[in-house]
Amino acid sequence: MEDNKLNYTLWNYNPNNRVAYGDGWNNEDFSVINGDEVSDNGPVRPDYRNHLHEHDELYKGGRILDVIIRPYAVKTAGIPKKSNWNHKSLRFEYEWTSTATKEPVDEKTHLTEIFIPGYHYDAHKLRVQGANVEWTYDKPRQTLYVRSSLAGYHSIIVAIENEAQHLLERGRRRRELYPPQFPFNLVSAGVEDLIEDVDWSKMFTYLPVVIVLLIAFLMSPLISWLP
């Protein structure tokens, strides 16, 4: 949806959702909140991605909130060109263009506002890089204000310090709550993450080509011996 620059809403809040019967209607189980009591060693374990927020009533029982709660441009002073966010590394990239106007405009006309959710970023120090912009971060408002007074191309990148450490901690929490099964228990959490990120649909598309190249490589010594 973001790649196509479309507006969308993800929302299904059902406080009565339970693991045993889901949302309680039509066999559906889509609620972003589950009402069961969770325990690290109990029958219903917490979402490892919500581990740091389970004691907060606002997020308690959350399901895949790390994907649903995400940064995005609330207002853009121009035309959006690209929006990309990695929910694991928390790296957010946004690009847009603006055009010059002959008439005088209000200062807010040059202001782009980006939602930076405290759910993800409050525990981290931000690293912000921009092209043809100036920015200020209002942490209580969870907003990054980006000013672009000149017309043309603009971009902003929001990342966190110690990104590698954050990814290791994320993998460690996952393995503590959900010990990996064979063959993932033979590799590190980092390698497991890389395997999960592979687009297997594309892999299968190119598989015949890879097989042909592999066969050609293995047969090349044999062919060279032929008269």
Q: How are beta strands 126-131 and 134-138 bridged, if at all?
A: unpaired
Domain regions of the chain by residue span: 1-68, 70-163, 189-219
Least confident stretch, 14-23, 96-105, 114-123, 157-166? 96-105
Query: Does position 55 have pLDDT exceeding 90, yes or no?
Result: no
Look up the CATH superfamily of 70-163: Golgi alpha-mannosidase II (2.60.40.1180)
Q: What is the pLDDT of residues 121-154, one digit of tens each?
A: 999 999 999 998 999 999 999 999 999 888 899 9
Evaluate whether 68 touches 50 at the Cβ level (below 8 Å).
no
The answer, as to whether pTM is greater than 0.85, is no
Residue holding tokens 């497991």?
192
Report how many helices (DSSP H) and strands (DSSP E) the chain contains, helices first.
5, 8
